[in-house]
Chain A
Amino acid sequence: MSTKIIHALYTDDDVLLQAVKQVRDKHYHIDEIFTPFPVHGLEKAMGIADTRLAINAFLYGIVGLCVATAMMNYIMIEDWPQNIGGKPSFSYLENLPAFVPIMFELTVFFAAHLMVITFYMRSRLWPFKKAENPDVRTTDDHFLMEIDTHGADVEEATKFLYDTGAVEIKLIDKEAH
């Protein structure tokens, strides 16, 4: 396996999108792309699969709904069914309207927070994490495409990337992650 990777820098998101298409047509492997802001259509151009975060959130919401229902059913109906202001605590259904605000809020709470935590875990984000930034300019106004030279002619790849509009190309040793 090659230990060399190419960093190609672009200064325009349209040029970048165009370049991604060309690079993929040429069957070079794009390791990673760093951009200072979300570029619409980039994940489509790169062929990245859709996120399943929304499905997660839906399932977490159902968990929240179950937690709320189980909790209030136990506390208000089973454990100590007091008469509080004449509210009917004979069954969960009979006193349901009073529980709906909490059921709603816990559904949202679980869906939102667990989804955010899932997002952090899946994208490996946490406090004191060492930033994986190959070039500080990518947080400002440069776009960086990381290409694996595996099995390709570096010379030819460099030439090809210049033609796609890269403003700067670097060949660097791959760090062990």
Chain B
Amino acid sequence: MYKVTSKLKIVAFSLIILGALLTAVGFWQVPASQDAVKEMLANEAAHGGGHAIESNEHHDVATVSHGDASHETSVSGEHHGESAHGVSHEDEHAEHVYHQLKNRPWSAVYVAAFFFFMIGLGALAFHAVQKAAQAGWSPVLFRVMEGVSSYILPGGIIMFLLLLATGLGANHIFIWMNEGVDVVGHENYDAIVAGKTGFLNVPFWLFRAGAFLVGWNIYRWNIRKFGLKQDEAEDGDIAWYKKGFKHSAMFLVFFIVTESIMSWDWIMSFDPHWFSTLFGWYVFASMFVSAITAIALVTIFLKSKGYLEFVNDSHIHDLAKFMFGISIFWTYLWFSQFMLIWYSNIPEEVTYFVTRIEDYNIVFFGMVAINFLFPLLILMNSDFKRINWFVVTAGLFIIVGHYLDIYVMVMPSTVGESWFIGFPEIGSFLFFAGLFIFYVFHTISKAPLLVKGDPYVGESKHFHY
């Protein structure tokens, strides 16, 4: 049995407190009004934008020659309607930036909350795959997987509360929720979004989120229960194992449908003018590789503390192979999505990448390099996959890289060119990291680390590659 050490608790709670403080600073930093933003922009223009708050290279361009550039690049992130006919361009721009800055801390929280939630969900899917495939190597890691996937309960509740708050109007990160967006003649009227309100309306959207979360949590609750019951079963009685097998197979069908819809709802609908058919797979690859990485990191941590003496370097090798393979799978999907849209260059689809390449160049391509080149070069060698610090290094790159991946999926449509990785982003990442660490290790401490009675556990203990 593993016991959560006080050191780990201190680390987790300090992450939570520090993260919460930084996030609060992020909310506090939001300018109080549009006039404040106007002043800020004027200051920035005067000082060349160099040392002002959250400066970025687009501010001066946008204020001085407020022409095509800023408008074209922020088609999807536009929050003000065409209300500003009589108002000057200066005002219109200030309003635009004001909305972006208001969205920033909310989006930062959203990205971090979703990122850690998706690690839990990916671990759940990985666990189900291992069960349904009757894998002979992984049963010794089931308790670690159950620990990581347990985060979908608190993480899911937080996600739902965030979505609920958003749906009730606490923030405006989803532009399809704007008032009057589907009312003909309203200043916010948007014919394209109006055509999608059959799917994109708050009640149905919240209902889907709730239904999916309940479905995933039921499976997670069941599979944990079956595992613990199997521990207590008599020798040779594998009824609970069989039950778990059936549930896992059914869950995988449910999962792939709901995961796909979830990615449209929670990520793709940030850009309601844009759509991509492989988006669900793309988000899935991202969550799968982060989850496997998290499992590997937790396994290596527990093993280094001496709690997993039955886990050998062949298990680590297998996890590292998964990290390597799924990283490349993720890159394949990223590239397929990017290249198809880049190649055909259809205006209504390509704006998605235009905003990302123009405003997020470093993060957008940097994250591809981190998520592809580092795992590729670090984890290609078979011997390196058995060396803990190599796997940990690659793992940390993958975790940061996929956080940035989610970041560039969400931010361009909510804060546009006013992005920055500062207090709210780092703060909310630390906050959810602390929560994740605490909850995951808390769950792991609840049950023995080696499953009993699983028909494959003997094979798994002697697994050798």
Interface check B8, CB cutoff 8 A: no
Q: Which A residue's beta carbon lies closest to that of B332? A: A104
Q: Which residues of A contact B338 (CB under 8 A)?
A: 97
Distance in angstroms between the alpha carbons of A58 and B380 in the assembled complex:
9
Interface check A100, CB cutoff 8 A: yes
- A13 to B: closest C-beta gap in Å: 17
Q: Which of B37-45, B214-222, B339-347, B438-446 contacts A (4 or more CB under 8 A)?
A: B339-347
Q: Which residues of B contact A98 (CB under 8 A)?
A: 339, 343
Interface check B33, CB cutoff 8 A: no
Distance in angstroms between the alpha carbons of A98 and B338 in the assembled complex:
11
Residues A54 and B343 in contact in the complex (CB < 8 Å), given A97-B338, A100-B335: no
| Cβ A54 vs Cβ B382 within 8 A | yes
Q: Which residues of A contact B380 (CB under 8 A)?
A: 58
User: Which of B335, B339, B345, B382 is the one whose CB lies under 8 Å from A86?
Assistant: B345
- A23 to B: closest C-beta gap in Å: 24
Q: Which residues of A contact B335 (CB under 8 A)?
A: 97, 100
| Cβ B345 vs Cβ A100 within 8 A | no
Distance in angstroms between the alpha carbons of A32 and B162 in the assembled complex:
69
Chain A, interface residues (CB within 8 Å), range:
under 10
Q: Which B residue's beta carbon lies closest to that of A58? A: B380
| Cβ B382 vs Cβ A100 within 8 A | no
Distance in angstroms between the alpha carbons of A54 and B339 in the assembled complex:
30
Q: How many A-B residue pairs have CB under 8 A?
A: 12
- B314 to A: closest C-beta gap in Å: 14
- B422 to A: closest C-beta gap in Å: 30
Which residues of A28-86 have CB atoms within 8 Å of chain B's CB atoms? 54, 58, 86
- B34 to A: closest C-beta gap in Å: 39
| Cβ A97 vs Cβ B339 within 8 A | yes
- A78 to B: closest C-beta gap in Å: 22
Q: Which A residue's beta carbon lies closest to that of B341? A: A97
Q: Which residues of A contact B339 (CB under 8 A)?
A: 97-98, 100
Q: Which residues of A contact B343 (CB under 8 A)?
A: 97-98
Q: Which A residue's beta carbon lies closest to that of B335? A: A100
Q: Which residues of B contact A97 (CB under 8 A)?
A: 335, 338-339, 342-343
Q: Which residues of B contact A54 (CB under 8 A)?
A: 382
Distance in angstroms between the alpha carbons of A97 and B345 in the assembled complex:
12
Residue of B338, B339, B380, B382 with highest tally of chain A CB at under 10 A: B339
Q: Which residues of B contact A86 (CB under 8 A)?
A: 345
Q: Which A residue's beta carbon lies closest to that of B383? A: A50
Q: Which residues of B contact A58 (CB under 8 A)?
A: 380
Q: Which A residue's beta carbon lies closest to that of B344? A: A85
Which residues of A73-123 have CB atoms within 8 Å of chain B's CB atoms? 86, 97-98, 100
Q: Which B residue's beta carbon lies closest to that of A97? A: B339
Distance in angstroms between the alpha carbons of A58 and B384 in the assembled complex:
15
1/0 per residue B332-367: CB within 8 Å of A?
000100110011010000000000000000000000
Q: Which residues of A contact B345 (CB under 8 A)?
A: 86
Distance in angstroms between the alpha carbons of A100 and B372 in the assembled complex:
14
Which residues of B307-351 have CB atoms within 8 Å of chain A's CB atoms? 335, 338-339, 342-343, 345
Distance in angstroms between the alpha carbons of A98 and B335 in the assembled complex:
11
Distance in angstroms between the alpha carbons of A86 and B342 in the assembled complex:
12
1/0 per residue B370-381: CB within 8 Å of A?
000000000010
Distance in angstroms between the alpha carbons of A51 and B226 in the assembled complex:
45
- B95 to A: closest C-beta gap in Å: 35
Residue of A54, A86, A97, A100 with highest tally of chain B CB at under 10 A: A97
Q: Which B residue's beta carbon lies closest to that of A54? A: B382
Distance in angstroms between the alpha carbons of A67 and B380 in the assembled complex:
22
- A104 to B: closest C-beta gap in Å: 9
Distance in angstroms between the alpha carbons of A54 and B380 in the assembled complex:
10
- B364 to A: closest C-beta gap in Å: 14
- B437 to A: closest C-beta gap in Å: 37
Distance in angstroms between the alpha carbons of A66 and B437 in the assembled complex:
44
Distance in angstroms between the alpha carbons of A58 and B338 in the assembled complex:
27
- A101 to B: closest C-beta gap in Å: 8
Q: Which residues of A contact B342 (CB under 8 A)?
A: 97
- A38 to B: closest C-beta gap in Å: 15
Distance in angstroms between the alpha carbons of A98 and B343 in the assembled complex:
7
- A18 to B: closest C-beta gap in Å: 18
Distance in angstroms between the alpha carbons of A58 and B381 in the assembled complex:
10
Distance in angstroms between the alpha carbons of A100 and B339 in the assembled complex:
9
- A107 to B: closest C-beta gap in Å: 12
- B385 to A: closest C-beta gap in Å: 13
1/0 per residue B226-244: CB within 8 Å of A?
0000000000000000000
Which residues of A104-153 have CB atoms within 8 Å of chain B's CB atoms? none
Q: Which residues of A contact B382 (CB under 8 A)?
A: 54
- B77 to A: closest C-beta gap in Å: 24
Distance in angstroms between the alpha carbons of A100 and B380 in the assembled complex:
20
Distance in angstroms between the alpha carbons of A97 and B331 in the assembled complex:
13
- A108 to B: closest C-beta gap in Å: 12
- A53 to B: closest C-beta gap in Å: 12
- B341 to A: closest C-beta gap in Å: 10
Distance in angstroms between the alpha carbons of A97 and B335 in the assembled complex:
8
10 additional contacts, CB 8 Å, given A97-B339, A98-B343?
A54-B382, A58-B380, A86-B345, A97-B335, A97-B338, A97-B342, A97-B343, A98-B339, A100-B335, A100-B339
- Listed by A's residue number, 12 A-B pairs whose Cβ atoms lie within 8 Å are A54-B382, A58-B380, A86-B345, A97-B335, A97-B338, A97-B339, A97-B342, A97-B343, A98-B339, A98-B343, A100-B335, A100-B339
> Which 6 residue pairs spanning A and B have beta carbons closest together?
A97-B339, A97-B342, A98-B343, A100-B335, A97-B343, A100-B339
